[in-house]
Amino acid sequence: MFIRVHPWFQVFSSNPMTQALYRGRFAPSPTGPLHFGSLISALGSYLDAKAQGGEWWLRIDDLDPPRVAQGATDAILRALEAYGLAWDGAVQYQRHRSEAYAAALAELQRLGMVYACACSRREIADSSIGRPGAPVYPGTCRAGLAPGKAACALRVDTRGAHVGFEDRLQGTVRQDLEREAGDFIVQRADGLFAYQLAAVVDDSELGVTDIVRGADLLDSTLRQVFLQRLLKLPMPRYLHLPVAVNALGEKLSKQTLAPPLDIAHPQPALVQALSFLNHPPPQALQGAKPQEILAWAVQSWSIARIPAVRSIEPQI
């Protein structure tokens, strides 16, 4: 894996962090209850950790208070318990971590890698260099704010940044960050810290060695790898699982009205999720308790069996 920060400064990264203990994590946002797509990520990250004798931690990404749904955090915890996905240690909450994010932002400012931006969404869409529907910020405010403009957000400078890493399932992933993603926000106009910065800081402080999540977050991973290099933080190993999509090719999510997990009868969805990951339990376990199914799955877990694709329509 390598990252080029500027055309005149290229850094070849060391190997991802290595330590005796595998430490994974699941980090849902409490914007609603878990659904089948959430279960894929939770299950994949849990099994990968436990198959290697490691830890599996839980972090609630409640960074954005306006988007937090009432009762969602409790519903997430209850669903994980019902499906036998027991986490290690105390639950982590991003809402308690603002001081750590501020310190990381201050370091980026010290490095001269952050600048104030006053562009509105409409202005960005009008001047975007990306494809329609996926605007890429062209660096309008890099040289300073236009007269009469007030700063709205803080962006990280991606000029000349080429980022790449080896995904354990998807293979080599590379991106010209400036051209394909643009200078992304690290602190929003309302003062809240952006997800990319918070995730990097939290994963590092928790000592996360491996991140297993959906392939829809590959672009986020590239931005996070960029921040890890700037902040001199260790890079975890990454494994991006296929994303569950509906018949229209849309990711199963709250926005596409994916139904919440049935916590009263977890076995069917658990078996379906394992089958989605090409680990169908034997017939004898079809009606077993979640803990029994998971015990079999931990022993059977193999990355080589998972389809190396970005998305799959599950047969639910």
So where are the chain's domains? 23-96+232-310
Write down the CATH number for the domain with range 23-96+232-310: 3.40.50.620
Task: Return the pLDDT at 131.
Answer: 60
Task: Return the pLDDT at 7.
Answer: 31
Task: Return the pLDDT at 315.
Answer: 74
Q: Average the pLDDT over 79-86 and give the result.
A: 98
Q: Which tokens in the block code for residue 94?
A: 């991003």
Distance, CA of 241 to CA of 306 (rounded, Å):
8
164 Cβ neighbours under 8 A, 6+ residues apart:
1, 2, 3, 172, 173, 174, 175
Which residue, 217, 218, 140, 137, is CA-closest to 179?
Answer: 137
Task: Return the pLDDT at 254.
Answer: 77
Task: Return the pLDDT at 256.
Answer: 82
- Residues of the chain with pLDDT > 90: what percent? 79
